[in-house]
C-alpha cells in the first residue's frame, strides 16, 4: 500500500494526518516484507527524532485496526509487522527462513464460525498463528538464518 493510500485510510477513519504520523506512514510504505517496531524507531531516531515511541505504537495499532497492517510472530518469537491488503486473511510463517505467506480459505472461515456456534457463541473476530516450512526451505536441507530485516526501498 502506498503512502497516500495509508494516509487516505487514516483520514477516512477520522484520524488527523499529523506530521509525526506522516513520517511513520512514509517509512512503513517503503517497507517490503516484515519489519519490527525497533527498526522503525531506529530510522525515526535518525530522521525524525521528534516522533516518540508512544506515537509510533499508537499509529501501528491504528493501522492494525484499519486492516492495513498486521502483527505477526516470527520463528524466534519476536513480533513483527507486515503491510497487508485490508481484506480478511491469515499468515503462515516459515519456521526456517521467516518468509511469510498468505492463507485465504472460505472453508476455514466457515468451519471456525460453525465450531464457535456449536459452543453457543457467536464469532466476532479471530486470529490464527500458523507456522510451517516454505517450498524452498522444504527442498533445501541447509538451515538458513531467520530473516527479520526487510529491504528498504528508495532510502
Reduced to 3 states, what is the DSSP secondary structure of residue 56?
A: helix
Residues in Cβ contact with 103 at an 8 Å cutoff, skipping those fewer than 6 apart: 89, 90, 91, 92, 130
Q: Are 44 and 13 in contact (CB under 8 A)?
A: no
Rank residues 80 and 84 by Cβ distance to Zn ion and give the closer one.
84
Residue of the chain from 34, 63, 69, 137 that contacts Zn ion (CB under 5 A): 137
Least separation, in Å, of the C-beta of 151 and Zn ion?
A: 17
Distance CA 71, CA 142 (A): 28
Q: For the window 68-107, what string marks contact with Zn ion as x by the rule CB under 5 A?
A: ----------------x---------x-xx-x--x-----
By CB under 5 A, the residues from 28 to 57 that bind Zn ion are none
Q: Which residues bind Zn ion (CB under 5 A)?
A: 84, 94, 96-97, 99, 102, 134, 137
Amino acid at each position: 500500500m502506498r503512502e497516500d493510500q495509508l494516509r487516505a485510510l487514516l483520514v477516512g477513519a477520522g484520524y488527523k494526518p499529523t506530521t509525526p504520523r506522516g513520517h511513520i506512514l512514509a517509512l512503513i510504505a517503503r517497507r517490503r516484507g516484515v519489519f519490527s517496531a525497533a527498526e522503525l524507531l531506529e530510522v525515526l531516531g535518525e530522521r525524525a527524532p521528534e516522533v516518540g515511541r508512544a506515537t509510533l505504537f499508537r499509529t501501528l495499532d491504528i493501522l492494525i485496526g484499519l486492516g492495513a497492517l498486521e502483527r505477526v510472530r516470527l520463528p524466534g518469537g519476536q513480533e513483527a509487522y507486515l503491510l497487508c491488503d485490508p481484506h480478511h486473511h491469515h499468515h503462515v510463517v516459515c519456521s526456517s527462513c521467516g518468509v511469510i505467506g498468505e492463507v485465504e480459505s472460505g472453508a476455514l472461515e466457515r468451519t471456525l464460525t460453525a465450531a464457535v456456534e456449536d459452543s453457543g457463541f457467536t464469532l466476532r473476530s479471530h486470529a490464527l498463528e500458523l507456522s510451517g516450512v516454505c517450498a524452498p526451505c522444504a527442498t533445501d536441507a541447509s538451515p538458513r538464518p531467520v530473516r527479520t530485516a526487510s529491504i528498504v526501498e528508495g532510502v
